[in-house]
Structure 1
Amino acid sequence: PGMSVAILQGQEVIFSQGFGYADVENKIMATQNTPYHIASLTKPFAAALIMQLVEENKLNLDSEIKDVLKDSVLPPLPLDDKPHQGYASACDRIIELQNDNSYPIAFLLQDYNCNTQRITVRHHLTHTSQGIPGEKYQYNGLLYAFLTFVVEAASGENFKEQLVKKIIEPLEMTRTFPGINDNVNTQVLKDCAKPYQVNKEGNPLLSNFDYTEGAIYASAGMISTVLDLAKFDIALNLNLLVSEESKEKMFTATLASSGQPLPYGLGWFIQTYKGIKLI
């Protein structure tokens, strides 16, 4: 029942405002400083980290995912709460989850096998890793989440720490956090917009979505505000996070193996409307 908006012109915020409620029960209005769980808007941040690693010659987008993760034990994936250890490879763990009827999102792993197919980092970054790699676009947040472990394998550091060190702190995104954890400012957590759903009568009901879940992946998990997201946007425009060349690669529509342009670049949706490129 609430939202926040920020509009930029050039590198300046020319309008920012909240509308509706961040908390209906307590009559707390949304403002331009209201933190939200930004879900899949985490993906462009992960893409920026990956392109930084490419620029540092620590990662090749066309490396096979199985090679990048060959020395990694795959940590728990989203909604995977079973303890596991000692698997021969991350790809083996993925195959096991595909056939685990108790894993609630196993269907998202269908038509995917990084042991038998040449699936690269680029395929994950562009949502083209299912079926014949590179042939089609199929949005898949779970497979994008694997890039969490790619960042960690290439950098030797925790994904969360990389976000803070390379993006959040340098840009002074003071109301942005990589998920819920002990380091989240308690006031920011208190200010977070609550999740709602609408009932048949059109009234907002507090959702049972567990917004206190602390996991952070390349696909989702960050908390931020529109003003902090504006800082990220400006930094990209000014090439403060990645080079102009890397940015253009991120903002260029992926070509399928058939040559057909797809609606996604490297971590960003890319469309053309009436001759205008939309990112």
Structure 2
Amino acid sequence: MKKITLLFLFSFCTLIAQTEKYDQLDAIFKTLETTGNGMGGISIYQDGKEVYQNAFGYANIEKKIKSTATTKYRIGSVTKMYTSTIIIQLIEEGKLELDTPLSTFFPKLPNATMITVKNLLKHQSGLFNITEDDNFATWMFQPQSRIKMLDRMVKNGVIFEPGTDTSYCNTNYILLGYIAEEITGKSFYDIVQHMIVAPLQLKRTYVGTDRPKGDQEAVSHQRVENQWEVVSEYTEMSAPGGAGAIVSTPLEVNKFTNALYTDKLMSQAFYQQMTDVSTGMGMGLGGMPIMGMQAYGMSGQIDGFKSLAIFFPEQKISMTLVSNAYESSLQEIMMQVLQVFFKN
């Protein structure tokens, strides 16, 4: 009887502590909403299930559509984790190798015979970052053919020899998306559906189009005379492709990252290579210790959207924070969340 009583008291105290924790998390996002410093959503996933969710502000302030747990957002460069996973799956299927040269697919690109798939995955190709192209702000809003994009990559050249340095570069992941299309004969949209969405039974993850569609896909906002106004121009997703074209929800991003460290999308051996950040970056992600725990993840920014997805494999925890209107740093907000969540 005494053991049952002690167990009950322990469970009761744990429940109170968890309630207080979630109340404190609610307060963080309530403050963001009431002060007008941000709108978006967050999901925390632990041991294979969502343990916390919050949606704050509006998916579309003009239409008065409130954000909900199912609101979808452009996740920008968080897409790179998905593209990396697709390439690794193709390698494990024997359709590609880490040492396959870029010239196998696109021989006209500079240093194509020297640049490998691994160089692209690890941001060590030396190719010029195409989003720094002088005319990027003009052509990013227009549909882009692969030929046009490749011509720009040829024109912009290289900034260092392959494998001699690490430099974050969207060109690498646009090319990896093209390589996946070449190998499979499918569009990047269909590849994501077949290799990521279907196996994980995701319902709100896909490659976006020219602008947000429907009431359940958030639009982004910008400050104009101290008020949030809807952004009118959006990147045509044929431009960023494998580097930044995916749309998803915080929960479904967490389901994806959870699948990474639970071996549902690749072998443990390749997961170890993916998360090897000894050269500065892993394959489609970064990694560093946070509060004494090893964390991996990626941030994204596109068209007034920001995203931050991190996961702690040893603790079996994933956290994704997204925003479609912000005046506060997502990293600072996430640190507040971490300090509350891990304090007990």
Q: TM-score, normalised by structure 2?
A: 0.60
How far 1:196 moved relative to its partner? 1.4
Number of the residue aligned with 1:128: 124
Q: Unaligned regions of 5+ residues in structure 1, if any?
A: 70-89, 95-112, 256-261
Number of the residue aligned with 1:189: 214
Residues in 2 aligned to 1:238 and 1:161: alpha-carbon distance in whole angstroms = 24
Contact 2:72/2:218 (<8 A) preserved: yes
- For residues 254-273 of structure 1, the aligned pairs below 5 Å read 254-255=278-279, 262=280, 264-273=281-290
Matched residue of 2:253: which SS?
A: helix
Matched residue of 1:235: which SS?
A: helix
Contact 1:43/1:220 (<8 A) preserved: yes
How far 1:206 moved relative to its partner? 2.0
Contact 2:189/2:206 (<8 A) preserved: no
The one-letter amino acid paired with 2:260 is L
How far 1:114 moved relative to its partner? 2.3
- Bigger strand share: 2
Matched residue of 1:5: which SS?
A: strand
Contact 2:84/2:283 (<8 A) preserved: yes
Residues in 2 aligned to 1:190 and 1:91: alpha-carbon distance in whole angstroms = 43
Contact 2:188/2:207 (<8 A) preserved: no
How far 1:91 moved relative to its partner? 4.3
Contact 1:152/1:159 (<8 A) preserved: yes
Residues in 1 aligned to 2:194 and 2:291: alpha-carbon distance in whole angstroms = 39
Number of the residue aligned with 2:201: 172
Deviations 1:250-277 (A, max 9, x none): 111142xxxxxx1x10011122346532
Query: Per the alignment, do residues 16 and 274 of structure 1 end up closer, same or farther by CA in structure 2, a change over 3 Å counting?
Result: closer
Q: Unaligned regions of 5+ residues in structure 2, if any?
A: 1-37, 127-159, 297-344
Residues in 2 aligned to 1:274 and 1:252: alpha-carbon distance in whole angstroms = 19
- For residues 113-262 of structure 1, the aligned pairs below 5 Å read 113-115=110-112, 118-130=114-126, 131-180=160-209, 189-199=214-224, 201-210=225-234, 213-215=236-238, 217-255=241-279, 262=280
1:49 to 83, 86, 91: 86
Contact 2:53/2:69 (<8 A) preserved: yes
Query: Per the alignment, do residues 230 and 63 of structure 1 end up closer, same or farther by CA in structure 2, a change over 3 Å counting?
Result: same
How far 1:198 moved relative to its partner? 2.2
Residues in 2 aligned to 1:209 and 1:123: alpha-carbon distance in whole angstroms = 33
State how many pairs are aligned: 225
Matched residue of 1:58: which SS?
A: coil
Number of the residue aligned with 2:53: 16
The one-letter amino acid paired with 1:241 is L
Q: TM-score, normalised by structure 1?
A: 0.74
Structure with the greater alpha carbon radius of gyration? 2
The one-letter amino acid paired with 1:190 is D
Number of the residue aligned with 1:76: none
- Bigger helix share: 2
Contact 2:45/2:251 (<8 A) preserved: no
Number of the residue aligned with 2:295: 278
Contact 2:62/2:229 (<8 A) preserved: no
TM-align CA RMSD = 2.3
Number of the residue aligned with 2:303: none
Residues in 2 aligned to 1:3 and 1:173: alpha-carbon distance in whole angstroms = 20
Query: Per the alignment, do residues 274 and 235 of structure 1 end up closer, same or farther by CA in structure 2, a change over 3 Å counting?
Result: closer
How far 1:35 moved relative to its partner? 0.5
